[in-house]
Structures are given as C-alpha cells and as structure tokens.
Amino acid sequence: MPVTTLDGHSIHVNDEGFLTDPAEWSEDLATTLAAQIGIQLTDAHWQVIRFLREDYAKTGETATIRRVSTAGGTPVKQLFALFPQKPAKKMAYIAGLPKPHGCV
C-alpha cells in the first residue's frame, strides 16, 4: 500500500490514488485532493462531500450517484455539473472514500 505526499499531507493510497484509510481524511486534505483533479470546491461541492462522509460513517459503503441524489438531496444533473464526466469516482476520491461498489 503506497504512501504518497500531497501538499504536505502524507496519506496511504491504493495504486489508483484513492485513500485506503478514510480516517486520514480532513477537510483541508479534501481541498488538496479536489485540486489534483482540477476541481475547486464550492458550497455545493461541500454539501455532497459531507453527505458522502456522513453516509459512509453510517453505512460503511460509498454512496452511488443515485444515493447522493435521493438521500443526499443533490440532483443527478447537478452532480454531473459539479463533478464532470465521472461524478461517482470523483466524489469518492475527494471524500477520501473507496469507489462505490453499487451498480446503480
């Protein structure tokens, strides 16, 4: 399990770069992770990221796009605008969580 250093944060990641220990995540780190993939976090992004964190703490699973829209309250269309092209993976990456396992 490689350790990588981003902007002074030393974090454990898998070979794709996703955090392997959600406990190493912080809001400060999220800003750094988002910048790595070209996203500057706005309030709307934060609402999604915080939902993902809370939901993961409760369920032990990364929310899918559908779950973020139905349970988290951010519409699907907006998710594609906030996290272009690959919302599910980008949201998970910034939130320091594994990629979602669910199909839908």
Partner 1 sequence: MTTTESAPAIVPQFDSEPSGRTLAIICSKGTLDMAYPGLVLANAALGEGIETHLFFTFWGFEMINKKTMHELKFTPLGNTATHLPQGLGGVPWMTNVATARLKKSIAEVGVPEVPEFLEQIVASGGHLWACRMSADMNHLTLADLYEGVEDIISAADFIDKTDGAQLLFI
**CA pair distance 83, 68, nearest whole angstrom:** 13
Q: Which of 30, 45, 87, 97 binds partner 1 (CB under 8 A)?
A: 87
**Between 2 and 73, CB nearer to partner 1:** 2
Reference 95, options 16, 23, 43; nearest CA is 23
103: Cβ contacts below 8 Å, ≥ 6 apart: 64
Q: Is 25 a catalytic residue?
A: no
Summarize as ranges the residues that interact with partner 1 (CB under 8 A).
Answer: 2, 4-6, 13, 15-18, 36-38, 64-67, 69, 75-77, 80, 84-90, 93, 102-104
